[in-house]
Structure 1
Amino acid sequence: MKKILLITIVLTLSIGLNAQNSDVHKKFEKELATYFNQKKVEITELINNQSTDKFYKLIIDEKFYGYSVLASAKGRYELFDFMIIYNDQKKIEYINILIYRSQYGQEITNKNWLKQFYKKVKLFVYGRDIQALSGATFSAESITNKINKLNEILIEII
Protein backbone atom coordinates (compact mmCIF):
# COMPACT_ATOMS: atom_id res chain seq x y z
CA MET A 1 0.00 0.00 0.00
CA LYS A 2 2.84 2.39 0.87
CA LYS A 3 4.52 1.67 -2.47
CA ILE A 4 1.35 2.53 -4.38
CA LEU A 5 0.96 5.75 -2.42
CA LEU A 6 4.61 6.68 -3.04
CA ILE A 7 4.32 5.95 -6.77
CA THR A 8 1.13 8.02 -6.96
CA ILE A 9 2.81 10.98 -5.25
CA VAL A 10 5.89 10.79 -7.49
CA LEU A 11 3.78 10.61 -10.65
CA THR A 12 1.60 13.50 -9.54
CA LEU A 13 4.63 15.67 -8.82
CA SER A 14 6.33 14.83 -12.12
CA ILE A 15 3.16 15.54 -14.10
CA GLY A 16 2.81 18.86 -12.30
CA LEU A 17 6.44 19.80 -13.03
CA ASN A 18 6.07 18.90 -16.72
CA ALA A 19 2.90 21.00 -16.97
CA GLN A 20 4.66 23.88 -15.23
CA ASN A 21 7.66 23.63 -17.61
CA SER A 22 5.27 23.53 -20.55
CA ASP A 23 3.55 26.72 -19.35
CA VAL A 24 6.89 28.49 -18.96
CA HIS A 25 8.00 27.43 -22.43
CA LYS A 26 4.71 28.60 -23.96
CA LYS A 27 5.14 32.01 -22.29
CA PHE A 28 8.73 32.10 -23.55
CA GLU A 29 7.66 31.44 -27.14
CA LYS A 30 4.81 33.96 -26.90
CA GLU A 31 7.16 36.62 -25.52
CA LEU A 32 9.65 35.97 -28.36
CA ALA A 33 6.87 36.40 -30.93
CA THR A 34 5.76 39.64 -29.27
CA TYR A 35 9.29 41.03 -28.98
CA PHE A 36 10.01 40.34 -32.64
CA ASN A 37 6.63 41.69 -33.80
CA GLN A 38 5.30 38.30 -34.92
CA LYS A 39 8.14 37.78 -37.42
CA LYS A 40 9.20 34.24 -38.19
CA VAL A 41 11.13 33.16 -35.08
CA GLU A 42 13.13 29.92 -35.09
CA ILE A 43 14.88 28.69 -31.97
CA THR A 44 17.46 25.91 -31.83
CA GLU A 45 18.58 24.56 -28.47
CA LEU A 46 22.35 24.89 -28.15
CA ILE A 47 23.20 23.10 -24.93
CA ASN A 48 21.28 19.93 -24.29
CA ASN A 49 21.83 19.09 -20.64
CA GLN A 50 19.75 18.37 -17.58
CA SER A 51 19.90 21.98 -16.40
CA THR A 52 16.73 24.03 -16.18
CA ASP A 53 18.58 26.79 -18.04
CA LYS A 54 18.15 26.49 -21.79
CA PHE A 55 20.27 28.32 -24.36
CA TYR A 56 18.86 28.91 -27.83
CA LYS A 57 20.17 30.27 -31.10
CA LEU A 58 17.72 32.79 -32.56
CA ILE A 59 16.93 32.95 -36.26
CA ILE A 60 14.60 35.79 -37.21
CA ASP A 61 13.21 35.82 -40.76
CA GLU A 62 15.87 33.24 -41.73
CA LYS A 63 18.78 35.43 -40.49
CA PHE A 64 20.93 34.83 -37.43
CA TYR A 65 19.92 37.35 -34.78
CA GLY A 66 21.58 36.24 -31.57
CA TYR A 67 20.72 34.07 -28.59
CA SER A 68 18.02 33.61 -26.02
CA VAL A 69 18.07 31.97 -22.63
CA LEU A 70 15.19 30.55 -20.63
CA ALA A 71 16.29 30.30 -17.00
CA SER A 72 15.15 30.02 -13.40
CA ALA A 73 16.48 31.66 -10.27
CA LYS A 74 15.54 31.42 -6.62
CA GLY A 75 14.05 34.31 -4.71
CA ARG A 76 13.78 34.14 -0.96
CA TYR A 77 11.23 31.33 -0.97
CA GLU A 78 10.37 30.32 -4.53
CA LEU A 79 11.84 29.94 -7.98
CA PHE A 80 10.99 32.41 -10.71
CA ASP A 81 11.40 31.98 -14.47
CA PHE A 82 12.83 34.58 -16.81
CA MET A 83 14.18 34.98 -20.30
CA ILE A 84 17.02 36.97 -21.83
CA ILE A 85 17.49 37.97 -25.46
CA TYR A 86 21.07 38.63 -26.60
CA ASN A 87 22.09 40.23 -29.89
CA ASP A 88 24.72 38.73 -32.21
CA GLN A 89 27.46 40.46 -30.17
CA LYS A 90 26.20 38.68 -27.05
CA LYS A 91 24.96 41.88 -25.43
CA ILE A 92 21.71 41.78 -23.48
CA GLU A 93 18.83 43.37 -25.36
CA TYR A 94 15.86 42.30 -23.31
CA ILE A 95 14.96 40.57 -20.05
CA ASN A 96 11.49 39.54 -18.96
CA ILE A 97 10.32 37.77 -15.84
CA LEU A 98 7.90 35.19 -17.23
CA ILE A 99 6.57 33.69 -13.99
CA TYR A 100 7.13 35.11 -10.52
CA ARG A 101 5.62 32.78 -7.94
CA SER A 102 6.33 34.52 -4.64
CA GLN A 103 4.34 37.22 -2.91
CA TYR A 104 7.55 39.04 -2.03
CA GLY A 105 10.17 40.65 -4.24
CA GLN A 106 8.01 41.38 -7.27
CA GLU A 107 9.86 44.66 -7.71
CA ILE A 108 12.35 42.80 -9.93
CA THR A 109 9.66 42.44 -12.58
CA ASN A 110 9.81 46.20 -13.17
CA LYS A 111 10.96 46.77 -16.76
CA ASN A 112 12.89 49.92 -15.84
CA TRP A 113 14.85 48.06 -13.17
CA LEU A 114 15.66 45.24 -15.62
CA LYS A 115 16.98 47.76 -18.18
CA GLN A 116 20.11 48.18 -16.05
CA PHE A 117 21.40 44.95 -17.61
CA TYR A 118 20.81 46.00 -21.24
CA LYS A 119 23.54 46.55 -23.84
CA LYS A 120 26.16 44.99 -21.61
CA VAL A 121 27.96 41.72 -21.14
CA LYS A 122 29.99 42.00 -18.00
CA LEU A 123 30.16 40.89 -14.41
CA PHE A 124 27.44 42.83 -12.62
CA VAL A 125 27.81 43.67 -8.95
CA TYR A 126 24.52 43.97 -7.09
CA GLY A 127 24.39 47.25 -5.18
CA ARG A 128 27.05 48.86 -7.38
CA ASP A 129 26.24 48.23 -11.07
CA ILE A 130 22.72 47.08 -10.33
CA GLN A 131 20.52 49.20 -8.08
CA ALA A 132 19.54 47.48 -4.83
CA LEU A 133 15.82 46.99 -4.31
CA SER A 134 14.19 47.35 -0.93
CA GLY A 135 11.79 44.45 -0.42
CA ALA A 136 13.37 42.36 -3.17
CA THR A 137 16.91 41.89 -1.93
CA PHE A 138 16.98 38.09 -2.34
CA SER A 139 15.35 38.06 -5.78
CA ALA A 140 17.36 40.99 -7.11
CA GLU A 141 20.66 39.56 -5.94
CA SER A 142 19.68 36.12 -7.22
CA ILE A 143 18.82 37.31 -10.74
CA THR A 144 22.00 39.40 -10.86
CA ASN A 145 24.13 36.38 -9.94
CA LYS A 146 22.24 34.16 -12.38
CA ILE A 147 22.67 36.64 -15.24
CA ASN A 148 26.40 36.76 -14.47
CA LYS A 149 26.55 32.96 -14.71
CA LEU A 150 24.53 32.88 -17.95
CA ASN A 151 26.70 35.61 -19.51
CA GLU A 152 29.80 33.63 -18.62
CA ILE A 153 28.43 30.45 -20.20
CA LEU A 154 27.35 32.31 -23.32
CA ILE A 155 30.73 34.01 -23.78
CA GLU A 156 32.94 31.03 -22.95
CA ILE A 157 31.04 28.08 -24.36
CA ILE A 158 28.91 29.31 -27.20
Structure 2
Amino acid sequence: MNIKQFSLLLITLVLLSFTTQKDLSKKVDKEIKDTFKVASYTYETITFSSEINKELPSKFESNNFIAIKANNKFIGYAYMGKAPSKTDQFDYLVLLDKDQIVLKTKIIAYREDYGGEIGSKRWLQQFTGKKSSDNLRYGDDIVAISGATISVRSMTNAMNNLLQSLRILQSKKVL
Protein backbone atom coordinates (compact mmCIF):
# COMPACT_ATOMS: atom_id res chain seq x y z
CA MET A 1 0.00 0.00 0.00
CA ASN A 2 1.51 3.29 -1.03
CA ILE A 3 1.17 6.59 0.83
CA LYS A 4 -1.60 7.84 -1.47
CA GLN A 5 -3.73 4.72 -0.86
CA PHE A 6 -3.05 4.90 2.86
CA SER A 7 -4.06 8.57 2.98
CA LEU A 8 -7.28 7.85 1.10
CA LEU A 9 -8.09 4.99 3.47
CA LEU A 10 -7.42 7.17 6.51
CA ILE A 11 -9.63 10.00 5.20
CA THR A 12 -12.42 7.52 4.43
CA LEU A 13 -12.29 6.05 7.93
CA VAL A 14 -12.39 9.52 9.50
CA LEU A 15 -15.38 10.54 7.37
CA LEU A 16 -17.22 7.31 8.17
CA SER A 17 -16.71 7.84 11.89
CA PHE A 18 -18.35 11.29 11.69
CA THR A 19 -21.29 9.95 9.72
CA THR A 20 -21.71 7.07 12.15
CA GLN A 21 -21.73 9.40 15.18
CA LYS A 22 -24.35 11.61 13.52
CA ASP A 23 -26.52 8.57 12.72
CA LEU A 24 -26.19 7.30 16.29
CA SER A 25 -27.28 10.68 17.66
CA LYS A 26 -30.38 10.68 15.44
CA LYS A 27 -31.34 7.20 16.59
CA VAL A 28 -30.84 8.09 20.25
CA ASP A 29 -32.89 11.28 19.80
CA LYS A 30 -35.76 9.32 18.21
CA GLU A 31 -35.77 6.68 20.97
CA ILE A 32 -35.83 9.32 23.72
CA LYS A 33 -38.74 11.16 22.10
CA ASP A 34 -40.70 7.95 21.44
CA THR A 35 -40.11 6.38 24.87
CA PHE A 36 -40.78 9.47 26.96
CA LYS A 37 -43.51 10.66 24.55
CA VAL A 38 -42.12 14.17 24.19
CA ALA A 39 -41.71 16.38 21.13
CA SER A 40 -38.59 18.02 22.50
CA TYR A 41 -36.32 17.68 25.48
CA THR A 42 -33.12 18.98 26.99
CA TYR A 43 -30.44 16.99 28.68
CA GLU A 44 -27.61 17.43 31.09
CA THR A 45 -24.54 15.23 31.16
CA ILE A 46 -24.01 13.51 34.49
CA THR A 47 -20.42 13.06 35.56
CA PHE A 48 -18.93 11.46 38.64
CA SER A 49 -15.65 11.94 40.44
CA SER A 50 -12.76 9.74 39.37
CA GLU A 51 -12.89 7.98 42.77
CA ILE A 52 -16.52 6.97 42.26
CA ASN A 53 -15.97 6.12 38.59
CA LYS A 54 -13.21 3.66 39.54
CA GLU A 55 -15.73 1.66 41.59
CA LEU A 56 -18.25 1.35 38.76
CA PRO A 57 -18.25 -1.68 36.44
CA SER A 58 -19.90 0.37 33.66
CA LYS A 59 -17.88 3.00 31.88
CA PHE A 60 -19.41 6.40 32.68
CA GLU A 61 -17.53 8.61 30.28
CA SER A 62 -18.27 12.06 28.94
CA ASN A 63 -21.75 12.34 27.42
CA ASN A 64 -22.79 8.69 27.83
CA PHE A 65 -25.01 9.17 30.89
CA ILE A 66 -27.52 11.98 30.81
CA ALA A 67 -30.47 13.34 32.75
CA ILE A 68 -33.41 14.13 30.47
CA LYS A 69 -35.84 17.01 31.00
CA ALA A 70 -38.99 18.02 29.17
CA ASN A 71 -40.67 21.37 29.90
CA ASN A 72 -38.02 21.97 32.60
CA LYS A 73 -39.14 18.81 34.43
CA PHE A 74 -36.84 15.84 35.03
CA ILE A 75 -38.26 12.74 33.28
CA GLY A 76 -35.49 10.13 33.28
CA TYR A 77 -32.03 9.02 32.24
CA ALA A 78 -30.27 7.70 29.16
CA TYR A 79 -27.12 5.57 29.15
CA MET A 80 -25.21 4.84 25.95
CA GLY A 81 -22.70 2.00 26.05
CA LYS A 82 -20.59 -0.32 23.94
CA ALA A 83 -20.35 -4.07 24.31
CA PRO A 84 -18.13 -6.59 22.52
CA SER A 85 -19.47 -8.95 19.88
CA LYS A 86 -17.44 -11.65 18.13
CA THR A 87 -14.98 -9.37 16.29
CA ASP A 88 -16.24 -5.84 16.94
CA GLN A 89 -18.38 -3.84 19.36
CA PHE A 90 -22.00 -2.80 19.24
CA ASP A 91 -23.61 0.36 20.61
CA TYR A 92 -26.65 0.13 22.84
CA LEU A 93 -28.96 2.56 24.58
CA VAL A 94 -30.73 2.11 27.91
CA LEU A 95 -33.52 4.50 28.88
CA LEU A 96 -34.44 4.68 32.56
CA ASP A 97 -37.27 6.36 34.41
CA LYS A 98 -36.79 8.77 37.34
CA ASP A 99 -36.30 5.82 39.71
CA GLN A 100 -33.64 4.22 37.46
CA ILE A 101 -35.94 1.42 36.31
CA VAL A 102 -35.29 0.30 32.73
CA LEU A 103 -37.94 1.58 30.35
CA LYS A 104 -36.30 0.45 27.13
CA THR A 105 -33.11 -0.99 25.67
CA LYS A 106 -32.15 -0.58 22.05
CA ILE A 107 -29.23 -1.78 19.95
CA ILE A 108 -28.21 1.39 18.13
CA ALA A 109 -25.44 -0.01 15.92
CA TYR A 110 -24.56 -3.69 15.39
CA ARG A 111 -21.50 -4.31 13.23
CA GLU A 112 -21.42 -8.08 12.73
CA ASP A 113 -22.84 -10.30 10.00
CA TYR A 114 -24.32 -12.69 12.57
CA GLY A 115 -26.01 -12.17 15.91
CA GLY A 116 -28.01 -9.09 14.99
CA GLU A 117 -31.11 -10.80 16.40
CA ILE A 118 -30.26 -9.26 19.76
CA GLY A 119 -31.60 -6.04 18.29
CA SER A 120 -35.14 -7.40 18.09
CA LYS A 121 -37.71 -5.58 20.24
CA ARG A 122 -39.05 -8.86 21.52
CA TRP A 123 -35.68 -10.05 22.81
CA LEU A 124 -34.75 -6.66 24.29
CA GLN A 125 -38.05 -6.47 26.21
CA GLN A 126 -36.50 -8.88 28.71
CA PHE A 127 -34.63 -5.92 30.20
CA THR A 128 -37.70 -3.68 30.58
CA GLY A 129 -38.63 -3.19 34.23
CA LYS A 130 -35.24 -4.25 35.55
CA LYS A 131 -33.82 -2.21 38.41
CA SER A 132 -30.55 -1.85 40.24
CA SER A 133 -31.37 -4.69 42.66
CA ASP A 134 -31.71 -7.19 39.79
CA ASN A 135 -28.96 -9.58 38.71
CA LEU A 136 -29.51 -11.13 35.29
CA ARG A 137 -28.35 -14.63 34.38
CA TYR A 138 -27.86 -15.82 30.82
CA GLY A 139 -30.03 -18.87 30.19
CA ASP A 140 -32.20 -18.28 33.26
CA ASP A 141 -33.41 -14.68 33.18
CA ILE A 142 -32.18 -13.93 29.68
CA VAL A 143 -33.17 -16.14 26.75
CA ALA A 144 -30.37 -17.44 24.54
CA ILE A 145 -30.37 -16.85 20.79
CA SER A 146 -28.86 -19.49 18.53
CA GLY A 147 -26.03 -17.93 16.52
CA ALA A 148 -25.78 -14.92 18.81
CA THR A 149 -24.33 -16.46 21.97
CA ILE A 150 -21.41 -14.05 22.28
CA SER A 151 -23.57 -10.97 21.76
CA VAL A 152 -26.32 -12.21 24.11
CA ARG A 153 -23.81 -12.90 26.87
CA SER A 154 -22.14 -9.56 26.21
CA MET A 155 -25.43 -7.63 26.40
CA THR A 156 -26.39 -9.52 29.57
CA ASN A 157 -23.03 -8.63 31.15
CA ALA A 158 -23.36 -5.01 30.01
CA MET A 159 -26.81 -4.73 31.59
CA ASN A 160 -25.60 -6.35 34.82
CA ASN A 161 -22.70 -3.88 34.92
CA LEU A 162 -25.06 -0.96 34.43
CA LEU A 163 -27.49 -2.20 37.10
CA GLN A 164 -24.62 -2.78 39.54
CA SER A 165 -23.23 0.69 38.77
CA LEU A 166 -26.65 2.22 39.49
CA ARG A 167 -26.78 0.27 42.77
CA ILE A 168 -23.38 1.71 43.79
CA LEU A 169 -24.38 5.25 42.77
CA GLN A 170 -27.62 4.97 44.74
CA SER A 171 -25.79 3.70 47.83
CA LYS A 172 -23.43 6.70 47.63
CA LYS A 173 -26.46 8.96 47.20
CA VAL A 174 -25.08 10.58 44.04
CA LEU A 175 -28.16 9.73 41.95
Same fold (TM over 0.5): yes
Tell me the CA shift for residue 119 of structure 1. 1.0
Find out whether 1:67 has 2:77 as its counterpart. yes
Tell me the CA shift for residue 14 of structure 1. 3.8
CA distance in 2, matches of 1:79, 1:64: 31
Tell me which protein shows more strand as a share of its residues. 1
Give unmatched runs, 5+ long, in structure 2. 49-58, 170-174
Matched residue pairs, number? 157
CA distance in 2, matches of 1:50, 1:67: 13
Aligned twin of 2:166: 154
Computed over aligned residues only, the root mean square deviation of the Cα atoms, in angstroms, reads 2.6
- 1:40 maps to a residue whose letter is S
Q: Secondary structure at the match of 2:108?
A: strand
Aligned twin of 2:148: 136
The verdict on how the C-alpha distance between 1:99 and 1:113 changes in structure 2, with shifts beyond 3 A counting, is: same
Deviates more, 1:48-57 or 1:130-139: 48-57
Query: Structure 1 runs of 4+ off > 6 angstroms?
Result: 2-8
Give unmatched runs, 5+ long, in structure 1. none
Q: Report sequence identity in percent.
A: 29
CA distance in 2, matches of 1:110, 1:124: 18
Aligned twin of 1:27: 27
The verdict on how the C-alpha distance between 1:8 and 1:15 changes in structure 2, with shifts beyond 3 A counting, is: same
Tell me the CA shift for residue 7 of structure 1. 6.9
CA distance in 2, matches of 1:104, 1:52: 30
> Are the aligned partners of 2:47 and 2:60 in contact in 1 as well (CA < 8 Å)?
no
Q: Secondary structure at the match of 2:44?
A: strand
The verdict on how the C-alpha distance between 1:95 and 1:50 changes in structure 2, with shifts beyond 3 A counting, is: closer
Q: Give the TM-score normalised by structure 1.
A: 0.83
> Are the aligned partners of 2:36 and 2:75 in contact in 1 as well (CA < 8 Å)?
no
CA distance in 1, matches of 2:11, 2:47: 27
Find out whether 1:41 has 2:53 as its counterpart. no
The verdict on how the C-alpha distance between 1:152 and 1:4 changes in structure 2, with shifts beyond 3 A counting, is: farther
CA distance in 2, matches of 1:63, 1:92: 19
Q: Secondary structure at the match of 2:112?
A: coil
Tell me the CA shift for residue 15 of structure 1. 4.0
Aligned twin of 2:124: 114
Q: Whose relative contact order is higher, 1 or 2, with alpha carbons under 8 Å and at least 6 apart?
A: 2
> Are the aligned partners of 1:74 and 1:80 in contact in 2 as well (CA < 8 Å)?
yes
CA distance in 2, matches of 1:78, 1:46: 27
CA distance in 2, matches of 1:50, 1:39: 27
CA distance in 1, matches of 2:38, 2:67: 17
Find out whether 1:93 has 2:103 as its counterpart. yes
Aligned twin of 1:58: 68
